[in-house]
Amino acid sequence: MTFAVKSSDPHHPLSALDDLSVAMKPDMANVNALILDHMQSDVPLIPQLAGYLIASGGKRIRPLMTLASTRLFDTTTSRPYRLAAAVEFIHTATLLHDDVVDESDQRRGKPSANTVFGNQSSVLVGDFLFSRAFELMVEDGSIEVLRILSNAAAVITEGEVLQLSIQSKLDTTLDQYLKVIGAKTAVLFAAACEIGPVIAGQPDSVQKALRDYGHYLGMVFQIADDLLDYQANESELGKNIGDDFREGKMTSPVIYALENATPEEKDFWKRVFEDHHQMESDLETAKSIIMVHKADQKAFDLAQSYVTMALQSLSVVPDCSLKSILENLAFFALNRKK
Amino acid sequence: MTFAVKSSDPHHPLSALDDLSVAMKPDMANVNALILDHMQSDVPLIPQLAGYLIASGGKRIRPLMTLASTRLFDTTTSRPYRLAAAVEFIHTATLLHDDVVDESDQRRGKPSANTVFGNQSSVLVGDFLFSRAFELMVEDGSIEVLRILSNAAAVITEGEVLQLSIQSKLDTTLDQYLKVIGAKTAVLFAAACEIGPVIAGQPDSVQKALRDYGHYLGMVFQIADDLLDYQANESELGKNIGDDFREGKMTSPVIYALENATPEEKDFWKRVFEDHHQMESDLETAKSIIMVHKADQKAFDLAQSYVTMALQSLSVVPDCSLKSILENLAFFALNRKK
């Protein structure tokens, strides 16, 4: 179920994130300095908590997207630094609030911030980072960028609320699922990528192309993430396997498995999701049912269709090594193991 | 401990909020329409929850301040409408998150939103309203206003975190208390009042005067609010009396009472605040100790000193009926019973 590529080749798709990190390294140093600077506060708990999450080895994909989508068109401007930091702050704020909402106890292989610092602090420091994100955007001064990111922030929370309201509901449709992940995940990828051509003064068609690329890339990332929850090795993934299952999140592997479910399987899903009555062995049973119905393959195929659309979106961008990395990144998102 | 004025006179200080509401009524209708419009979402839970709080009879003081501080200088512009709505959204978002953080079960005389809809929804809808606030500001298009309100939002959360970190700590100083309420309450009053002269194109000195007025007014409101928690009649106040006491909030009546506390009283405060061991009768005991040390009078005097500074700040504004209402509003804030 993975692409037949070997990981020894430094330029194959599975090293795309590493390649991007190397290509953006000098730029990212500036972004990291701004992130550290703007999470400071006279109130010691704020940098402690923010630093706990920000320093905990996130991939920083979203700020990398803002840098890359700028560098495709402008190799010198320092404007993406503040905005990439703002994008990472918005993402971090949503992670802090997500972990409170989902009652998660692990994030990136460590105890989650709400477990260590408490829900109260996580809510408030999330708010703080969100406010700081807007301060960074205001420093940049572009109303257009503020429009893109304030809209993204509103859509993200709509997606989270929608996800909450369909939780454990077995009649959730694939369309509803796509709407949720489009809002909670893909919209910030889209915004992060749209900022580049906006500040580089590119025409609307190019802005739209990068926004679309970001949207499709975000869809690939989230569908692959939802698949990993039923597949991955816990120590590799850095979060609890089966979290989505325990929380009753209606993700694509489950939705596909329900399409052709036997009456016994329907009873199983009803018990574990709608009746919230789960036993130790149920995750393994869920995995088996998903495999029997090839629901994992269907979810993978769905993600792959978004890879195709991501690549198509990039067609308006002139060929260059950075464009190749962004193309490969879509395959990386599809095939990553954590 | 109240001003010797009779409430039958329609223009005395205690009717200042009513007077302001009447003076701003046509403007406020526009603001209310924008509030209703911008809390809509395809996700039904969002307008349900937002509407529950927004429709629950808040005084809308902050948007009224934005309207009034504009109308002092410009009687025709419609620009304050969006910004007043944004101010109310920021305030509502902080209320939603506060009630989660404080585990409050009452707000404005009704069960709090987190009690009815759950903490998860309250966190997310707070985020949504906060994002919508920024969308409203972006629609207005003033980077200066965005700077004022994004800074205020960051300071509010810093104040909330600071409050959390000094909770139940008997060595809290009056300076720390003033810093907390300056950040969590007064900064949004200050921002709401500063916006008016900014969009009306007034000079820096006038912008500063209105910002200062808002700050001092906010300090009066919060100190009076903290006093009411040990004084008011529960059914009148519309929130639980003694909430601050139960949560171990270090407010001015307690800080003043601790200044000259006997060893027995210190043991009492230590037990109820630091050891979190409270009995049914403890609130009444706390009230008695506060009265014996005239700590309530000292807190009232403190609030009164901010009334004086609020009035001084307005001295640069030409005399008019609206200015008189704003002056009276400071007395109203001091003497209100709920």
Q: Which residue of B has its CA nearest to A100?
A: B120
pLDDT, mean over chain A: 91
Q: Pick the closest to residue A153 from A190, A204, A193 (CA basis).
A: A190
State the average pLDDT over residues A15-22.
94
Interface of B with A in 112-131 (CB under 8 A): 119-121, 123-128, 130-131
Is B120 in contact with A101 (Cβ distance < 8 A)?
yes
Query: What structural domains does chain B harbor?
Result: 13-335 (1.10.600.10)
Q: Are A69 and A194 in contact (CB under 8 A)?
A: yes
Whether A283 has its CB under 8 Å from any CB of chain B: the answer is no
Q: What is the pLDDT of residues B112-125, one digit of tens each?
A: 888 888 888 899 99
**A148 close to B (CB below 8 A):** no
B-interface mutation test, from A130, A180, A187, most B Cβ less than 10 A away: A130
Classify residue A106 by its DSSP letter: E
DSSP bridge pairs for A107: A110
Angle of the A79-102 helix axis to the B119-140 helix axis, nearest 10: 160
Amino acid at A164: L
pLDDT value at residue A80: 98
Question: Which amino acid, one-letter code, is at B169?
Answer: K
Residue in B46, B141, B154 closest to A161 by CB:
B46
Which of B103, B117, B120 is the best mutation test for A, with the most CBs of A within 10 A?
B120
Instruction: Name the residue in chain B with its Cα closest to that of A165.
Output: B45
Contact of B312 with chain A, judged by CB distance below 8 Å, is answered with no
CA A195, A200, A204: angle at the middle one, nearest 5? 70
pTM: 0.91
Q: Which of B128, B138, B158 sits opposite A128 (nearest CB)?
A: B158
CA distance A212 to A204: 12
pLDDT tens string A210-237: 999 999 999 999 999 999 999 866 556 5
Contact A21, A12 (CB under 8 A): no
Nearby residues of A48 by Cβ (< 8 Å), 6 or more positions away: A117
Residues of chain B short of pLDDT 50, as ranges, are 1-10
Residues of B in contact with A126 (CB under 8 A): 127
Q: Which tokens sit at A154?
A: 């509103």
* Amino acid letter for position A173: T
Give the rounded percent of residues in chain A with a pLDDT score beyond 70: 93
Average the pLDDT over A75-80 and give the result: 97
Six-digit token pair at A329? 């990144």
B158 touching chain A per CB within 8 A:
yes
Lowest mean pLDDT among A48-57, A252-261, A269-278, B219-228: A48-57
A98 — contact with chain B (CB < 8 Å)? Answer: no
Contact A154 B138 (CB under 8 A): no
Q: What is the DSSP letter of B58?
A: -
Q: Are B145 and B137 in contact (CB under 8 A)?
A: yes
Q: How many CB atoms lie within 10 A of CB A203?
A: 10
Residue A239 has pLDDT above 70, yes or no: no
Q: Tell whether B29 is within 8 A of chain A (Cβ).
A: no
